[in-house]
Amino acid sequence: MSIQALRDKRVNIANKMKALVEKEGAWDAERQAEFSNMKTEVEQIDNQISAIEAALRVQEGIAATDEQTAQFRNVSIENAAELRRDLLVAFLRDGQEGIQNLVNSGRIQNAQTVGTPAGGGYTVTREMFSSIQAAMALVGGVRDVSTVLKTASGNPLDFVVTDSTQEEGEILGETQLTPSSETKFGTTDMGAFKYTSKAVAVSLELLQDSEFDIEAYIVALLGQRLGRVTNRHFTVGAGDKQPRGVVTAASVGKAAATGQVATVTLDDLIDLEHSVDPVYRSAAKWMFHDGTLRKLKQLKDATGRPLWLPGLAVNAPDTILNYGYQINQHMPTMAANAKSILFGDFKKYLIRDVMGATLYRNTDSAYNERGLVGFHSILRTDGDLVDIGGAIKAYQNSAS
């Protein structure tokens, strides 16, 4: 079944679930069973759609900069993605010799710029970054919902963070000077921590096998490794010698009552929602671990109706209390004192990437004596919450 057909089927089921929830009458066992069956079917469709989209994101990453490739490689936009993939595969299989063979074949017109950024060209490693970044996105989490800033250098950057939720202007009389305002502000320093994917070793036999999709294999491994370690730090990083994670930075908006070590109630969610100023709530969503979502799906209102509803249109998000949510497997699960649920505007969390990921092909004695070639990727990045007005708040489970 095509991805569009799956989405259409999901929308149809979602509308039935919404109609069932809104239907007058008691929420009895029969209606609960019907709702549960439809929820299971939606989850199965979601898993299938996610698998298809995961493959598509890697493919789209390969063709993400067609205009740049066309400009700097002197080819048509229609041929850009194909050429870029050929460049990557040639580099992975044969290193610079493989690139030179492409140059000799005449497929690259401005050969003098190959692998020479100063000459105006885009190196093979730079062109591969879009694919690695697409694979990083498969991990999900903070990068998917935050603001991502790309810079050309790794120099420290100072960002001013303010709390403007209580500030307002005033009427100015004729010839009256504009008064000053006591703005509450602070600064946060964004550096660039250097992350490595660690090395991936590939045998010469696999590299020489034309049927082996070397690019997809390397991209998936390197991208997912970088995605996991950076998302962990963007979520729960301490801020000392690593990014300050969004959980670390978020203040507590709702503390659970004693006894709620591993539970949450509808009232808790409502209190957490309203702990965030309305100026942020228009773009707000939830963030939690998949295990927490399972518990939230079991929550019901006073009439027994579920809080969770699937999206009612193609690509529309599932909702809890009418807000979408982001699954993040590095979020703490419910436990004593855990900040297990976040709510707010995650665009206030800033991720700073320096240029992009760099790919290294290693053929030194540690590898070639064993008939292997090693690959690893380096990414310089940092992350922090650039807000002190409470754009993101946390639900914290009780200590006992």
**AA letter at 16:** K
Beta carbons of 326 and 287 less than 8 angstroms apart = yes
361 forms beta bridges with 375
Tell me how far apart the alpha carbons of residues 322 and 328 are, in angstroms, rounded to a whole number. Answer: 19
Provide the 8-state DSSP code for 264. -
The angle at the Cα of 156, spanning 150 to 160, to the nearest 5 degrees, equals: 85
pLDDT of residue 105 exceeding 80? no
Q: Return the higher-pLDDT residue of 135 and 250.
A: 250
Indicate whether 225 pLDDT > 90.
Answer: yes
* DSSP string covering 318-337: PEETTB-EEE-TTSPPS-TT
pLDDT in tens, 160-192: 776 666 667 777 877 777 665 555 566 777 889
pLDDT at residue 46, as a whole number: 87
Between residues 292 and 87, the one the model is more confident about: 292
Residue 281: what pLDDT? 94
Q: What is the pLDDT of residue 63?
A: 40
pLDDT at position 118: 32
In the prediction, which pLDDT does 56 show? Answer: 60
The sign of the dihedral angle between the CA atoms of 131, 137, 139, 142 is: positive
pLDDT at position 121 is 28
Q: What is the mean pLDDT of the chain?
A: 82
Query: What is the per-residue pLDDT for 180?
Result: 58
C-alpha span between 321 and 172 (Å, rounded):
41
Nearest-CA neighbor of 235 among 83, 385, 41?
Answer: 385
Q: How confident is the model at residue 124 (pLDDT cuts 50, 70, 90)?
A: very low
pLDDT tens digits, 49-90 = 888 876 665 544 444 456 656 655 666 666 666 776 777 788
Strand, coil or helix: 306: strand
pLDDT for position 218? 85
User: pLDDT tens digits, residue range 108-117?
Assistant: 544 333 333 3
Write the pLDDT tens digit of every residue in 302-333.
888 899 988 877 667 899 999 999 999 999 99
What's the confidence (pLDDT) of residue 230?
95
Look at residue 393 in the predicted model and tell me its pLDDT: 97
pLDDT-derived band of residue 343, with 50, 70 and 90 as boundaries? very high
User: In terms of Cα–Cα distance, which of 392, 368, 355, 378 is closest to 150?
Assistant: 355
Give CA angle at 146 (134, 122), nearest 5°.
40
DSSP assignment of 103-168, as one string? HHTT--S-GGGTT-GGGTPPPHHHHHHHHHHHHHHTT-SHHHHSEEEEESS---EEEEEE--TT--
Query: Which pTM value belongs to this model?
Result: 0.77
- The string of DSSP codes covering 189-224 is EE--EEEE---EEEEHHHHH-TTS-HHHHHHHHHHH
Which has more pLDDT, 237 or 301? Answer: 237
User: So what's the pLDDT on residue 169?
Assistant: 72
What pLDDT score was predicted for residue 206? Answer: 87
Q: Which segment, 134-148, 152-166, 185-199, 247-261, is predicted with the most confidence on average?
A: 247-261
Whole-number Cα distances in Å, 281 to 121, 271, 294, 391: 44, 13, 24, 8
State phi, psi for 205 to the nearest 5 degrees: -60, -45
CB atoms within 10 A of CB 303: 9
